[in-house]
Amino acid sequence: MTLGRHNYFVWSILLVLGLSSTCNAVPNSNGRRAPLALQKNVVSKVSKIVGGYPASVGELPWQVALYGEYVCGGTLLSSDVVLTAAHCVIAGGQLITGFKVGYGGLSLLNLPFETDHKQVIPHPHYNEYTMDNDIALVILASPVKQFTNLVLPANLPYNSSEEYEGEEVTASGWGTLYSDSDSLNSKTSRTIEDGCEAECVACVRDRDISCSDTFKYPLKRDACGDSGGPLVKIIGDYSVIVGVTSWGNGCAAQGYPGVYTRVTESV
């Protein structure tokens, strides 16, 4: 376990996962929940997946959506804990509270399960300017009643020293396949590879941020969006959440790879 400046967030993860309950039902929403306008400087840093493919039913059961006046992705960690990006829940130094969490389906406009949140826990050292420590937890007001092939949590990395460099991982969210599309009703994903240290340094050269805290991925395949969404290593039926969609310059733009917060820095 990593000690030092990440202690508070580490213990928050352990505590909320330890207190998670599976006895309460999640309200079923039959209505069409369309997101409102995206808030600039909150989630518009990245807005859609490019170079991906439509996900199939049950392929990404850990994927959740945070929506209200903005749209973000997230990863289910337990029956009532969601992992997302800090910039999805903080704006101007203030917590964003007016959002709901939906999950269990492919269409953002008609997710079968929806709940409010009862607590938001951003990383205590999140920096809105540099995007350092861009990671947060959201505690659901109504926990998942039962895990199925459509709703299933991803696993945290077993070992905080895991690097995942050069391994194939999958990013997902309700973005689109093309950078000029505004569709938000299709979840997409694709396999990507982590980048090398030199490329990371070039990518974050104008920011006060540690490359050890981040991942980057190749050009022409970008989670240009879906901030807060998962970057997952899938091994058979076992999934490990290794990154959180954080930021990028443009959308699959030449010379500007997307950046993910490295989960192992906080567990």
Catalytic site residues?
A: 87, 134, 227
| Residue closest to 182 by CA, chosen among 57, 35, 59, 33 | 35
The one-letter amino acid code at 233 reads K
The DSSP annotation for the chain comes to ---STTHHHHHHHHHHHHT----SPPPB--S-----PPPTTTTTTS---BS-EEPPTTS-TTEEEEESSSEEEEEE-SSSEEEE-GGGTEETTEE----EEEESSS-GGG-SEEE-EEEEEE-TT--TTT-TT--EEEEESS--S---SSS-PPBPPS-TT---TT-EEEEEES--SSTT----S--EEEEEE---HHHHHHHTTTS---GGGEEEE-TT-B--S-TT-EEEEEETTEEEEEEEEEE-SSSS-TT--EEEEEGGGG-
Beta bridge pairs of residue 65: 73, 102
